[in-house]
Amino acid sequence: MLARKVSPQPSQIEQNLVRALKRGDARAFEQLVGMHQDRVFGLCLRMMGNREEAEDLTQDVFLTIFRVIDRFRQESLLSTWIYRIARNHCLNRLKFLKRRAHGKKQSLQETGPTPPDGTIAPPVTSQVPRPDRLAEGKQMEVIIQAQINQLSDEHRELVVLRDIEHLSYDEIRQITGLACGTVKSRLHRARMELTRLMSPYMENPED
């Protein structure tokens, strides 16, 4: 008989922090931001591929946490719950940007193609396993992030959560609501797609 997986239990410090947050303690909220803002920003940056968008979303995430902290039932770690909120904000923003881009494309069809925006995706601080084995230096990190931006939303989030944020499959399950088997199969397809996108940059002209 397989043992049931048990989610990590929150520490006493986390439980005390959550209680203070639910009381509306401003210092507790400042502590929460200090503890989690870097990782929330990192997730938003890698999901969006744009620093300004990531900064705005990070603020939105913590404002949301402040408003809905009473809904946190502590069925997962606080960090997992925060990741779920950040992930949802990113996906909603990506959908909005795609709809807006589609609308702009439709309105400009008679005047010519839409010019590239010239935005260079910021480098990632952690490299994606497999294609990153050949990545060296900041220039290749920028290329990797640019190719991550080309993935579908569902593939991008799994690459970011697993291969960059290094979350466990169980944490990703809690964040996304997907079964672990689905997470693994989608992640495999995402890695295959990222490898395909990276292939022009991994060729060695001397071979």
**What secondary structure does DSSP assign to 131-182, as a single string?**
GGGG--HHHHHHHHHHHHTTS-HHHHHHIIIIIIS---HHHHHHHH---HHH
Q: Are 132 and 164 in contact (CB under 8 A)?
A: no
Q: Are 180 and 5 in contact (CB under 8 A)?
A: no
Asked, for residue 169, whether it belongs to a domain, the answer is yes
Tell me the residue range of the domain where 196 lies. 120-202
Asked, for residue 165, whether it belongs to a domain, the answer is yes
Q: Which range (42-46, 120-124, 141-145, 177-181) has the least confidence?
A: 120-124
pLDDT tens by residue, 9-22:
778 889 999 999 99
Residue 193 pLDDT more than 80?
yes
Asked, for residue 194, whether it belongs to a domain, the answer is yes
Which CATH number fits the domain that encloses residue 125?
1.10.10.10
- Please state, in angstroms and rounded to a whole number, the distance separating the CA atoms of residues 190 and 152: 8
Average pLDDT over residues 186-207: 82
Average pLDDT, the chain: 82
Average pLDDT over residues 157-181: 95
pLDDT tens by residue, 73-104:
988 999 999 999 999 999 999 999 988 876 66
Helices (H), the chain: 12-22, 26-48, 51-68, 78-107, 137-148, 153-158, 169-176, 180-202
128 and 97 co-located in one domain: no
Q: What 3-state class would DSSP assign to 123?
A: coil
Q: Which two tokens stand for residue 193?
A: 């797609």
Please give the model's pTM, rounded to 2 decimal places: 0.77
